[in-house]
Structure formats: structure tokens, C-alpha cells
Amino acid sequence: MARKSRPPLLGRPAALPASPAAAQLDRVPNPHPDTPYAARFTFPEFTALCPVTGQPDFATIVIDYAPRSWLVESKSLKLYLNSFRNHAAFHEDCTVSIGKRLVALLKPRWLRIGGYFHPRGGMPIDVFFEAGRRPAGAWTPDQGVPPYRGRG
């Protein structure tokens, strides 16, 4: 019987990558490739740097996807998302880059990502990316992040 190898980051100490480009994203086989279902990752503490001011931008990132053959390994995803904290990029670039990288790695049936950024300069920016078609029979609820309403 062939021995299955585990992803390089799984179960091992790993330092925070210096940048998103340096981050390693791992995948694992989907044990149910014949079943349409959706998986969700919610990352409420996403940060990146404004490329103009250098100030931090904060967001909740919600990733929904319907896998085919591969699942994203969650530890590598956490490290990848955290690698943006010292990376200067606009909200749109962060959100779309994450979506494209996951699509390239996983080749899912469907993927959507919502980047819900906190206001800076008085205006929140929400960014959405979607690839593929939602599979019939897979429940995909609303991402659950309310629109910004200000205080009070």
C-alpha cells in the first residue's frame, strides 16, 4: 500500500511568510469528490497595508467554495492570509488575488470570496470575486457580514 504524504506545513511549526508571493498554499485530496457541497472559511482578522498611506486596513474575508478533487489545507490558508499583514495592496487587489490563487490551486466547481473592509476615510469598501457555478444541491448561505451602518 502506498504511503500518503501530508502537506509540508501540516503538523509542523511554520513561520509567517514574508509576503503573499512567498506563502505556500497546500491542498489535500477531497474525500467526497462526487458529492456537491460547499465549505466556508471566515477570517475576521485580515489586515493589509494601504499602498498610499502605509496605514493598516482591516477586513473580514469570507471564502466559500465547492471542491472537486482538492481541498485547501487550512493551516496553509491561515498563514497565506496572515502574510498580507505587511503587504501593501488595495482592497480589490487583495480580494481578487486570494480568489485567483485559490482557483488556480484547487480548480473548484465554484468559489466566491467576499472582502468586507472596515471604513477608512469614511467609506467602507466591500469586494467580491466569483469563479465557476454554484453546484445544484450544495447549500450556500449568505456570507453573513452585514453592510456597514456606522455607529448608533
Catalytic residues: 50, 57
> Cell for 27?
491542498
Give me 146's grid cell: 452585514
Sequence letter at residue 59 = A
Give every strand in the sheet of 110-117, ordered side by side.
39-49, 56-66, 110-117, 126-132
Helix (H) or strand (E) holding 65: strand 56-66
Residues 6 or more apart whose CB falls under 8 angstroms from that of 79 comprise 9, 14, 16, 17, 23, 24
